[in-house]
Structure 1
Amino acid sequence: MTPYPNLLSPIRIGATTLPNRMVMGAMHTRLETMDRPIERLAAFYATRARGEIAMILTGGYAPVPEGVMDEGGLVLNSREQLADHLPITSAVREAGGRIVLQILHAGRYARVPECVAPSPAKARINAYAPRALATNEVWATIESYANTAALAAEAGYAGVEIMGSEGYLINEFTAAITNQRDDEFGGSFDRRIRFPLEIVKAVRARVRPDFMLVYRISSIDLMEGGMAAAEIAEFARRIEQAGADMINVGVGWHESAVPTIAASVPRAAWAAAVRNVKQAVSIPVMASNRINTPEVAEALIASGAADLVSMARPLLADPEFALKTRQGRVDEIAPCIACNQACLDHIFTERVATCLVNPRAGREIEFMDRRSPSPRRFAVVGAGPAGMSFAIDAARRGHRVTLFEAAPEIGGLLNLACRVPGKSEFDELLRYFAVSLQRAGVEVRTGTRASVDALAGGGFDTVVLATGVLPRRPDIPGIDHPKVLGYTEVLSGRAEVGERVAIIGAGGIGFDVAEFLVGDPEESTSPDAFRKAWGVDAAIASPGGLAPPSPHRPRRRVHMLQRKPGSLGKALGKSTGWILKAKLRRAEVEMIAGARYELIDDRGLHYSVDGERRLLDVDNVIVCAGQEPERSLHDALAQRGMLVHLIGGADEAAELDAYRAIDQAVRLAVSL
């Protein structure tokens, strides 16, 4: 018997029966901005359909040009555009799947000068201030949704999802904070929800009965002036009465001060908000946000909080998530670690989305995954993310691969990342790598420091050096003082750290060390601890579901310093950096820019800012001042005539991240 009886059971949505309860949530990819966009989108969605996901929701298409996310964004408002959609829907159908088009009007989040909203208040995350829609324009916008839905049906989609969450146009109408209108679409609760209700009724009237109509509701706004639980429940009932076949549950607004989907948010943290909607309606309800394993998904459905689960980023990480679940190969699922590095951070910085764990995501037509006609013997030195990724991919292509690792365990710096509060998902990545190395048939030699003689005389055709980085030791008087610690000593637990600490360096590692020293490990694993820390009212009794956050009592007094002027943390992830900085502010971490380091002695760290000499009386000074590539084997191997490749930190240590290391490793394996 399957351990996932609920997750793998069929369910009826309107006139459509889905074979399981797993849905690919809508996500922006920017694939339309690349060469061969239609081919890329068709391959992207068809790959997920072949992976047996029950239904796919596309990225959002605006019903009118002023509703796009940004310049050149996706619009579907005329029959001339159908030619771009037919290859996509055909590819998904041929792969055995169903695809639903999301209709999204960005409202005041639209990064275009002509953006519109219910009222003219500007969003703090947009440079453009919106123009308020006139009453006749609101009615015209309602008709535009119905027009896009009719076109979607003609293009071969199985349904549409009306995006009414996350602070976009519809959500701006339903929330009092952004709806200051005095016509029939503003003021009272009934008038504020009229806009979405009229949209659902208009769409239902324009499409055939068996065409799915999904509505994405905001189950908790996380904004002052948002809806409370009773209003949300009543709104959900009205949406059902208006003609929706299913409700998908969204969480928060993009400008909310509460994180909703990053790794610092516990898994299934929003179950109570989902349950509030589920208990109000008789149509199926789908949960979303921080659902990344079959176990979490099964538990949500079994608890009665939801009927289905929507997973977006997990389907970037592994398009075969549903297939592997059905086949009992859950340990082979590539995990979404909710890092946002290559998906959301790429989107927010105008790049094309992909995945740290799976560089093939969004690049399906670039990778020809076939076995090599002439297998070779590879030696890979270093079992960090780059070395493991290359070894796995090369072995799957039929090559014989031996992986050398000096440490007693695989993982490299991933083993340190796991120890940082909010990064426990890296444990899942390590588990996946261990399973994949074994399944691919890689010979793993841990506790073995590869020598030049062993590599040159071992019968290997090629050596891949993934030896990582060495911490940079800055030239500061007193750098060898006993107070001074390296970040590897601290994160590994090998060093005792005092109560007063100075951190030299404010890059990603510096921030990780600060979080390690002052953070609350339970905050990212316990929904209750998370809600208390961030001020979330689980009962949504208050408007927007906000409550006073509980005070944080840091375990240490920490000071962070950087040489550069300007605010610290500018290079952190666009979608996650603000979360980490907010947590450190809550822990009263002092951040000092423009520091000139003078001396480290028994008294602490002597430094100056703008010529003013200062002293930090600290127990320890932790050095997080960058890294240097570890290439000590390279020249000697080349002199022996060996073919040698450098990947990951051994190739380039500057701004090192696991995404670049894994992407480079997989591409090298393909090219060889």
Structure 2
Amino acid sequence: MKYQKLFEPIKIGKLEIKNRYAMAPMGPLGLGDCEGGWNDRGIDYYTRRAQGGIGLIITGVTFSDTEVEKPSFPNTPNSTYNPVQFVRTSREMTEKVHAYGAKIFLQMSGGFGRVTIPTNLGEFPPVSASAIPHRWLDKTCRPLTVEEIHGIVKSFGKGAFNAKRAGFDGVEIHAVHEGYLIDQFAISFFNQRNDEYGGSLENRLRFAREIREEIARTCGPDFPVALRFSLKSMIKDWREGALPGEKFEEKGRDIAEGIEAAKLLEQYGYDALDVDAGTYDAWWWNHPPMYMEKAPYKEFARITKENVKIPVIMAGRVDNPDTALGCLEKDVCDMISLGRPTLADPDIVNKIRRNNLSQIRPCISCQEGCMGRIQTYSLINCAVNPQAGKERVNRFNPIVRRKKVLVVGGGVAGCEAARVLAERGHEPVLYEASDRLGGNLIPGGAPSFKEDDLALAKWYEDEMKRLGVEVHMNTKAGEKEILDKSYDAVIMATGSRPKRFSLGDDDKVYSAEEVLLGKKDAGNTVVVVGGGLVGCELALDLAMKGKKVTIVEALGKLLAVNGPLCSANREMLEKLIPFNGIDVCCNAKVTGFKNGVLCAETAGGKKEFKADSVVLCVGYSSENSLYNQFKDCLDEVYLLGDARQVSNIMYAIWDAFEVANNI
């Protein structure tokens, strides 16, 4: 088997894991109950990933302290708040996970400190190693007392003991990583203490060392303890992170200190290091958007592995099995950790083992359903997989009678509806007016950093073939098809069209789709009108191709409307704009384009921009004329996707799933 090395067993401490794949820890928001245990969603969620072939599951972050950062249930589980409830619900989960031959670690956190997301802050004031600025709020953190540190350390021992009782095979400490509380002690930029927890690197790592010692005391020396570890911080200044390839002075942990820290952590008894890079000040490193290259931690994992003898785990957009295999063969790391790819497709590891790669539903790194919803709504889900985190609620409903359903439109909403209908046993028939399935995924996936959008379109195409869906390409469904009495229901998913308006010389005014698909040559000097997500991504793509680009935006800032839900995506894109030499003019209303000059009115008066072309990125209008024409003639008809309301990929897929799963 080509990928045999990915399925060789490995040991963490004395614990043997069946393959080299781990499920990366992702915040279990929405998966806990009001007593600090796991709810049914959490148990189903992790069990489903074990069923999909993962060797080691590392849960999302849980807590053991109940005094400093007081629990705000049911945000995340807590292993000491109600030990009986935690052990009871955890035991149910670990027994199910073990049935599939997987191992499971509980990820335990010392706290968030200065990086607590405001929606999760609760009643307690933000704390840290020292009196430093909070990451999000205009507040100064309160330094922890030595007594509080000791209390947190003790809680780790009690929590790990409860985890062991509950059947967890080990724990992962969260972490000298991403700028969380323990990392705020480890990084001198954050730690300004002059007691035994400040100063030298050894003192700054004392918190992490004492946690390992306490767990060994309560659980025995053979109970495996891994640690999440960021080799390099990527901090330029407070709330200022560095981009890939950017030259800067590291204010956090640099690679030299990271190497020393890794050696000390091994010396303290940690059994594995789960390696990445970054902090909340450079959040796109720890939660890489599509703008970040695949496997961005390769070099950091390799450096760590060269300096320690314990296993090194590496995450970060390593969904391609060839990349994963190469990392093992080149001694970059010992295990591959998949986070978001297991949300998108819980069976990804089994599909790799069987070499069924075309059946893997790709993660598109949009972070709308996962990190964005965690940050905004305290829920973990997935944009492309509506069943993630809702395995029981959104299981496929059995059908009472097989129905023949007409699906008009082969964008994501139409394809998802057809897929779900076919999976359930109905007979969908899909009509698509163009020569490709995928709708807006096709132009949206044209930039080099959006390749996974095209992969998702290809996945839908392959799914239609696998499920035997009747697909009519290059065919507009009209009155004959829509009113055909052989159909029991009709789904209209006819998408949207770009908004256009006249600027004068309209032969040089294009839509984003025309430029992205190569139907129009934008020239070398381009003005993009509209600084939303489409406009910013188009501008970035053009700039990366060597074009001189200016964004003109009517509102006061870029991404003011319909920007990415996740801060990592939004902040990285905002910083990539100036980093790639793109000029921006906000609070500007365009008035005309003539003789290669675009005019705009601003608060400072009239401005002119020379341009070979102007690209309008000012939104989309629903294309629902067919629905409006025939809705009163049909007994069962649904309007889905952008045709119902212009939104994003996630809501197109989710709405389609909801409707198609209940027909």
Per the normalisation by structure 1, the TM-score is 0.89
Q: Find 1:555's aligned residue among 547, 552, 555.
A: 547
Q: Does 1:449 align with 2:441?
A: no
**Matches of 2:200 and 2:636 in 1, distance apart?**
73
- For residue 470 of structure 1, give the secondary structure of its aligned residue in structure 2: strand
Q: Deviation of residue 602 (structure 1)?
A: 2.5
Tell me, yes or no, if structure 1 residue 489 matches structure 2 residue 521: no
1:45–1:88 CA contact under 8 A, matched in 2: no
Against the structure 1 CA distance between its residues 650 and 366, is the aligned structure 2 distance closer, same or farther, given a 3 Å change threshold? same
Cα deviation digits, residues 114-148 of structure 1 (max 9, x gap) = 33222111133344422112334333332222222
Task: Say if 1:174 and 1:339 are closer, same or farther in 2 by CA, change over 3 A.
Answer: same
Residue 194 of structure 1 pairs with residue 206 of structure 2: yes
SS class of match (1:387): helix
Partner of 1:597: 590
Distance 1:591 1:362, change over 3 A: same
Query: 3-state DSSP class of the match of 1:503?
Result: strand
Q: Measure how far apart 1:316 and its partner are.
A: 0.7
Q: Which residue of 1 aligns with 2:451?
A: 424
Equivalent residue of 1:248, what SS?
strand
- Pick from 81, 84, 89: which aligns with 1:82? 84
**1:264 equivalenced with 2:328 (yes/no):** no
Quick one: which amino acid aligns to residue 170 of structure 1?
I
Aligned to 2:30: 31
Listed one character per residue, the Cα deviations across residues 151-191 of structure 1 (whole Å, up to 9, x for unaligned) are 22223322111112111122112211111222222112222
1:219 maps to 231
Who is 2:628 aligned against? Answer: 635
Structure 1 position 351, deviation (Å): 4.0
How far off is 1:15 after superposition?
Answer: 2.6
The letter for the 1-side match of 2:103 is R
Q: Determine the structure 2 residue equivalent to 1:143.
A: 154
Alignment of 1:3-82 (within 5 A): 3-32=2-31, 38-65=39-66, 68=69, 71-72=72-73, 73-74=75-76, 76=78, 78=80, 80-82=82-84
Which residue pairs with 2:105 in the alignment? 100
Within the candidate set 527, 547, 562, 1:571 is matched to 562
Q: Which amino acid aligns with 2:162?
A: L
Following superposition of structure 1 onto structure 2, how do residues 125-204 of structure 1 map, counting pairs within 5 Å?
125-164=136-175, 165-204=177-216
With over 3 angstroms needed to count, the CA separation of the structure-2 counterparts of 1:609 and 1:568, relative to structure 1, is farther
Of 192-201 and 89-98, the range deviating more from structure 2: 89-98
* Structure 1 residue 635, shift from structure 2 partner: 3.3
Q: For residue 541 of structure 1, what is the aligned residue in structure 2? A: none
Deviations 1:247-297 (A, max 9, x none): 211321111276441111111121111012112222221111121232222
Give the conservation status (yes or no) of the 8 Å contact 1:604–1:620. no
**8 Å CA contact 1:82, 1:155 repeated in 2:** no
For 1:202, the aligned partner's letter is E
- How far apart are residue 70 of structure 1 and its match? 8.5
SS of the aligned residue for 1:349 comes to helix
Q: Is the 8 A contact 2:527 2:613 kept in 1?
A: yes
Mapped to 1, the partners of 2:593 and 2:308 lie a distance apart of: 65
Of residues 530, 534, 537 in structure 2, which corresponds to 1:509? 534
Q: Distance in 1 between matches of 2:422 and 2:283?
A: 45
Instruction: Determine the C-alpha separation between the residues in 2 that align with 1:572 and 1:639.
Output: 36
Structure 1 residue 623: deviation in Å?
Answer: 1.4
Query: Structure 2: 5+ residue runs without aligned partners?
Result: 236-249
Percent identity of equivalent pairs:
28
AA aligned to 1:179 is N
Instruction: Deviation per CA, 1:508-529: give whole Å up to 9, x if none.
Output: 2222221222135xxxxxxxxx
Q: TM-score, normalised by structure 2?
A: 0.90
Q: Offset at 1:332?
A: 1.0
Work out whether residues 378 and 401 of structure 1, in 8 Å CA contact, stay in contact via their aligned partners in 2: yes
User: 1:94 and 1:617, CA in 2 relative to 1: closer, same or farther beyond 3 A?
Assistant: closer
- Structure 1 pair 75/671, CA: closer, same or farther in 2 (3 Å)? closer
Partner of 1:402: helix, strand, or coil?
Answer: strand
Contact 2:28/2:61 (<8 A) preserved: no
Cα shift readout 1:400-446 (whole Å, capped 9, x = no counterpart): 12111111111111111111242122222122212211111111221
Q: Say what the alpha-carbon RMSD is for the aligned residues.
A: 2.4
The SS at the match of 2:281 is coil
Q: CA deviation at 1:387?
A: 0.7
Q: How does 1:458-473 map to 2 (within 5 A)?
A: 459-473=486-500
Q: CA deviation at 1:37?
A: 6.4
Distance 2:412 2:66 in 1: 42
Within 2, Cα distance between the matches of 1:451 and 1:294? 43
* Unaligned stretches of 5+ residues in structure 1: 521-553
CA contact (8 A) 1:89 1:99 kept: no
Q: Does 1:235 align with 2:240?
A: no
**Residue type of the alignment partner of 1:16:** L
SS of aligned partner of 1:124: coil
1:418–1:477 CA distance, 2 compared to 1 (3 A): closer
Instruction: State the Cα distance separating 1:340 from its structure 2 match.
Output: 0.8
**Aligned residues of 1:560 and 1:589 also touching (Cα < 8 A):** no
Q: Within the alignment, does 1:649 sit opposite 2:648 as a pair?
A: no
Cα–Cα, structure 1 residues 142 and 556, in superposed 2: closer, same or farther, change >3 Å?
A: same
